Amino acid sequence: MILHYDGVKDKPKTFKAMTSLERSEFDKLCTIFAGVWNEYTRQSEKDPAKGGRKPYLKTAEDRLFFILFYLKTYPLQEVLGYWFNMSQSQANFYINELSQILKKTLQKTENLPVRLSADLLSRLANEAAQDLVIDGTERRRERPKDPVYQKRFYSGKKKAHTLKNNLIAGLDDRQIKYLSNTHEGKKHDKKICDEEKITVPAGSHLYRDSGFQGHELPAVTIYQPKKKPRGEELTWVDKVQNRLLAQVRVGVEHIIASVKRCRIVKEVFRNTRDGYEDLVMELACGLHNFRSEQRLLCY
């Protein structure tokens, strides 16, 4: 059986399981995706859809379906090639090319999170004020062969080799506003904030966990659970306050869970292409923002 868009477009549950999108959401995204693809092929020296061998993915729908299927299900490239009737090397080529096209598509829809602190301040200044939440998320990667990299990426917390990103999201619209660079999993959340100079506008209300203890933000109201003092117990009031904060901060856990619908950022990451571990996290966050935006419009 060869997978293609026409074969699953009329099967709503299967289509969503393979792409993370509803059919209507896919169609909206595909219109922009097709325009970006056409622009890309005009700028390239050779149009991959003309001359030489016939393209394996002939339509914009098939191209978008291919890359979303890869990000959502994360099969081995050999298996992916078999399902789409192409070689492993051709599957690898399409993965890398179409990932960049998808990124440019999500840029056009303004669904990608910003990556610089200055851009975050600018973005939030142009949006309606809302409470924000910051959190870090780790994801596993394959054990590096180099002993130096083995030590660098080993996370004692997860007892595995991991990657980490910090992200900032809005608690009202559930949109990811900022995504940090991808770091080794053992790096502390606060250290990432310090290195990237992550900040939010003065007057903001920011929820975070104790992993960001010590990261100061001037003129920002910070809500953070209180740690138990050494050798002592928290008071009843402190426990109630911590519980109330947890009920608010659980929103970011739901957002991260939505990002990790793309199993490429949930399962052990095994793609060795330089920089791809950061790109896929950016794409997964962009797809989350696109889905939540489209579904909010339905209500």
pLDDT digit string (tens) for 156-207? 888 999 999 999 999 999 999 999 999 999 999 999 999 999 999 999 999 9
pTM: 0.92
Residues 160 and 96 in one domain: no
pLDDT at 45: 56
* pLDDT band, very low/low/confident/very high, at 236 (cuts 50, 70, 90): confident
User: Is pLDDT above 90 for 66?
Assistant: yes
Q: Which helix (H) or strand (E) holds 111?
A: none
d(CA 267, CA 241): 34
Cβ 189 vs Cβ 165: under 8 Å: no
For residue 298, name the pLDDT band (cuts at 50, 70, 90): low
pLDDT given for residue 51 in this prediction: 54
The residues, any chain, with a CB within 8 Å of residue 134's CB and separated by 6 or more, are: 166, 167, 168, 193, 198, 206, 207, 208, 212, 252
Please tell me whether residues 150 and 283 are part of one structural domain.
Answer: yes
Q: What is the residue whose two structure tokens read 């911590």?
A: 242
Same domain, 231 and 132: yes
Domain match, 158 and 277 both: yes
Tell me which long-range contacts 210-214 makes (C-beta under 8 A, separation of at least 24): 211/136, 212/134, 214/190
Same domain, 171 and 194: yes
Residue 73: domain span: 5-108
Average pLDDT for the chain: 92
62/177 Cα distance (integer angstroms): 30
Mean pLDDT of 33-59: 75
- pLDDT value at position 211? 86
The answer on pLDDT for 31 being more than 80 is yes
Three-state DSSP at 221 gives strand
Domain end (from 108, 135, 160): 108
Segment 149-158, tens digit of pLDDT = 999 999 988 8
Residue 177 near residue 169 (C-beta atoms within 8 A) = yes
| The total number of structural domains that make up the chain | 2
Q: How confident is the model at residue 2 (pLDDT cuts 50, 70, 90)?
A: confident
Cβ pair 178, 120 in contact under 8 A? yes
Contact 175, 128 (CB under 8 A): no
Residue 98 and residue 123 in one domain = no
**Average pLDDT, integer, range 31-49:** 79
Domain boundary among 88, 108, 128: 108
* Whether residue 289 is found in the same domain as residue 179: yes
Together in a domain, 185 and 240: yes
